[in-house]
């Protein structure tokens, strides 16, 4: 890629980062084009040509996605407050737009989200964010660490990844009832299958929270387990931590072979440090751990 194209992509990436960081602000065309130092007379077409979405639709989708996360995973805000944060002056206008986008009312989505229409609704947003070059990693990004063992409470997700959101919702509600806050008790995902197995029913991931406390299941299917200690290849990822396939494949394809190390008999897992929507999506942080012999 030429230096000019890299510079162009970097300027466009600054725009996406600014939008993510300022979803509560007035994101008019003049402001957003100024972030990239492009003329406002041409920026609209430049943005659409790069991302496949207009600036206005991109901002709408980003605000609506954040609203959907707050509805499904956070109960500290009322539907009216979520609507106002999404840029709507009235809850009924937000409800109409949300139903049109997701197929459910905000209150219905909060109680029982239907995740397959949700995935389809926000697919264009993810596609837009993937238009720029995929993130690249180097050997300097990979550290070899001795990791202590961690006792964890586990909620298993087994089956179609399209229904993972419902398991995440139950997991968040359970750990809240158990008093296991992310600030005091670390969050892990242990992947026991491919991200997209040949049959969706074979998808398998453990949602885990580190704790030494006695476990109160509170009606959920929770078991106690351990993430074993030992040497691991560790890769830190900032931004877009919903999909960690690219950094995972880097560890397997380049990081592991070039290091001369061999993988241990325990699955790839990650620890999540900063979560969307508490932080803008490009500031979410996770670390991937590839256990080594």
CATH of the domain at 7: 1.10.10.60
pLDDT band of residue 239 (cuts 50, 70, 90) is: confident
**How much is the pTM?**
0.84
pLDDT of residue 134: 61
Q: Are residues 118 and 69 in the same domain?
A: yes
Q: Are residues 145 and 286 in the same domain?
A: yes
Mean per-residue pLDDT over the chain, rounded = 92
Check pLDDT > 90 for residue 5.
no
Check pLDDT > 90 for residue 243.
no
Structural domains of the chain, count: 2
Q: Are residues 59 and 109 in the same domain?
A: yes
pLDDT of residue 242: 84
pLDDT of residue 106: 96
Question: Of the given ranges (13-27, 71-85, 186-200, 248-262), which has the lowest mean pLDDT?
Answer: 248-262
- What does the block give as tokens for 197? 């197995």
CA distance 185 to 161: 25
Domain presence at residue 134: no
Is pLDDT larger for residue 262 or for residue 240? 262
∠36-38-39 over CA atoms, to 5°?
150
Q: Are residues 57 and 186 in the same domain?
A: no
Of 129, 163, 189, which closes a domain? 129
The parent domain of residue 115 ranges over 3-129
pLDDT of residue 196: 86
Query: pLDDT digit string (tens) for 268-292?
Result: 999 999 999 899 888 999 999 999 9
Domain presence at residue 83: yes
Q: Cβ contacts of residue 194 below 8 Å, gap of 6+? A: 203
Q: Are residues 185 and 90 in the same domain?
A: no
pLDDT band of residue 136 (cuts 50, 70, 90) is: confident
Q: Are residues 272 and 204 in the same domain?
A: yes
The torsion defined by the Cα of 142, 144, 149 and 150, in degrees rounded to 10, comes to -20
Of 64, 99, 129, which closes a domain? 129
pLDDT band of residue 133 (cuts 50, 70, 90) is: low
Of 81, 103, 129, which closes a domain? 129
Q: Are residues 79 and 186 in the same domain?
A: no
- Which residue from 75, 128, 82 is spatially nearest to 102, judged by alpha carbons? 82
pLDDT band of residue 158 (cuts 50, 70, 90) is: very high
Q: Are residues 166 and 30 in the same domain?
A: no
Query: pLDDT digit string (tens) for 72-130?
Result: 998 888 999 999 999 898 999 999 999 999 999 999 999 999 998 998 999 999 888 88
Query: pLDDT digit string (tens) for 194-228?
Result: 888 889 999 999 999 999 989 888 889 999 999 99
Check pLDDT > 90 for residue 231.
yes
The torsion defined by the Cα of 214, 217, 222 and 226, in degrees rounded to 10, comes to -10
CATH of the domain at 233: 3.20.80.10
Domain presence at residue 285: yes
CA distance 188 to 209: 6
Q: Are residues 111 and 222 in the same domain?
A: no
DSSP for 176-190?
A: HHTT--TTTS-EEEE
Q: Are residues 42 and 150 in the same domain?
A: no
Check pLDDT > 80 for residue 252.
yes
Query: pLDDT digit string (tens) for 23-39?
Result: 999 898 888 999 989 99
Q: Are residues 276 and 153 in the same domain?
A: yes
Domain presence at residue 206: yes
* Distances, alpha carbon 161 to alpha carbons 79, 143, 165, 195, 232, in Å: 27, 30, 8, 8, 26
Task: Evaluate the CA torsion angle 85, 101, 96, 55 in order and state its sign.
Answer: positive
Q: Are residues 39 and 160 in the same domain?
A: no
Which segments of the chain does DSSP mark as H helices, in order?
3-21, 29-36, 40-51, 55-73, 79-85, 91-102, 106-111, 115-129, 164-177, 245-250, 256-259
Query: pLDDT digit string (tens) for 47-60?
Result: 999 999 999 999 99
């Amino acid at each position: 890629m030429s230096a000019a194209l890299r510079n162009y992509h970097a300027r466009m990436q600054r725009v996406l980062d600014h939008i993510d960081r300022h979803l509560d602000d007035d994101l008019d065309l003049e402001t957003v084009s100024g972030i990239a130092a492009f003329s406002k007379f041409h920026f609209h077409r430049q943005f659409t040509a790069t991302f496949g979405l207009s600036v206005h639709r991109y901002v709408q989708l980003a605000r609506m996605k954040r609203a959907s996360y707050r509805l499904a995973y956070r109960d500290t805000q009322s539907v009216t407050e979520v609507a106002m944060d999404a840029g709507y002056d009235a809850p009924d206008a937000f409800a109409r737009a949300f139903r049109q986008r997701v197929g459910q009312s905000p209150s219905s989505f909060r109680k029982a989200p239907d995740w397959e229409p949700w995935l389809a609704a926000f697919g264009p947003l993810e596609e837009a964010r993937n238009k720029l070059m995929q993130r690249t990693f180097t050997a300097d990004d990979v550290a070899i660490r001795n990791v202590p063992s961690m006792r964890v409470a586990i909620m298993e997700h087994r089956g179609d990844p399209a229904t993972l959101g419902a398991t995440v919702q139950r997991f968040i509600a359970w750990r809240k009832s158990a008093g296991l806050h992310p600030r005091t008790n670390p969050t892990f995902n242990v992947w026991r299958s491919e991200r997209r197995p040949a049959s969706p029913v074979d998808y398998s991931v453990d949602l885990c929270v580190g704790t030494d406390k006695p476990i109160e299941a509170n009606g959920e299917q929770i078991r106690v387990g351990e993430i074993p200690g030992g040497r691991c290849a560790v890769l830190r990822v900032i931004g877009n931590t919903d999909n960690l396939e690219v950094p995972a494949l880097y560890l397997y394809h380049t990081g592991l072979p070039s290091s001369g190390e061999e993988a241990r008999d325990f699955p790839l897992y990650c620890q999540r440090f900063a979560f969307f929507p508490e932080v803008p999506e490009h500031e979410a942080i996770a670390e991937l751990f590839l256990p080594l012999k």
